Amino acid sequence: METVFEYTRGMLPLVSTYCPGCTHGIAHRLIMEVLDEKGDLGNTIGVAPVGCSIIAHQYMNVDMCEAAHGRAPAVATAIHRVHPEACVFTYQGDGDMASIGTAEIVHAAHRGEKFSAFFINNAIYGMTGGQMAPTSLIGQKTTTSIYGRSEAVSGKPLRMAELIATVEGAVYVERVSLDSPAHVRKAKKAVEKAFSVQEQRLGFSFVEMLSTCPTNWGLDSVASLGWIRDNMIPYYPLGVFREVE
């Protein structure tokens, strides 16, 4: 019989505690599937700071380390410098990376740290109850922007992939989306590329994944995928923003 699907050994066989329709699970699986296919599960150390994915270590079948809010790039820097032969990645939300941790990620890229950063942009603070993030869209209603994000008060949403792409130490920067099967397949290619850049010791690699937060967006699973397509992708275009050969 032909095997058409196998549960990756990269994910432990547990019931997910993420909300229905949340794409953290897809992001987890893509990263772990790639590591499994590369035979790197035993040689990988991941760093997940606070945010909904604080429990990533429960699901990901690799060594994992927690970090304080926004500080995963500093922790990953230390780990990779102590274990230069290991595959090291960070997994950060937008509240984490684009707000309290902005300096950390910019300077990790600036120093050309040779780990891979995965940025899960769901345009909101998920874990803490749906507050506005720097990536929330203009007009987006959150618990701290109840009439919708206003440009006059909060500025325009921060585009992290474009920002990191301006940093000389970054070698590969791409934005992908988890809203459709075709985009998920592309996202997997981006994860593969990020790890291959790291494997070749070329420098810092960064993949932003547009992601859902149905609970805090107040939408069901299917509508959330549509919200990425209709609202996020027009503001956060997909593609490669930097690739240094």
Positions in the binding site for ligand TPP (CB under 6 A): 50-53, 69, 93-96, 120, 122, 124-128, 133, 213
The maximal CA–CA distance of the chain, rounded, in angstroms, is: 61
The CA-CA-CA angle for residues 146, 147, 152, to 5°, reads 115
**CB closer to ligand TPP out of 176 and 213:** 213
Q: How far is the CB of 159 from ligand TPP (least distance, A)?
A: 15
Nearest residue to the partner ligand TPP, using Cβ: 93
Q: How far is the CB of 109 from ligand TPP (least distance, A)?
A: 18
CB within 8 Å of 48: residues ≥ 6 apart? 54, 56, 57, 64, 66, 67, 72, 90, 91, 92
Q: How far is the CB of 139 from ligand TPP (least distance, A)?
A: 19
The label of the residue with tokens 């922790």 reads 75
**CB closer to ligand TPP out of 69 and 186:** 69
Rounded to whole angstroms, the Cα distance separating 27 from 187 reads 9
Tokens of 145: 């922007």
**CB closer to ligand TPP out of 45 and 120:** 120
Q: How far is the CB of 199 from ligand TPP (least distance, A)?
A: 27
Q: What residues form DSSP beta bridges with 176?
A: 209
Q: Which amino acid is at 16?
A: S
Q: How far is the CB of 154 from ligand TPP (least distance, A)?
A: 15
Strands laid side by side in the 239-243 sheet: 63-66, 44-48, 87-93, 116-121, 204-210, 170-177, 239-243
**CB closer to ligand TPP out of 95 and 157:** 95
**CB closer to ligand TPP out of 44 and 53:** 53
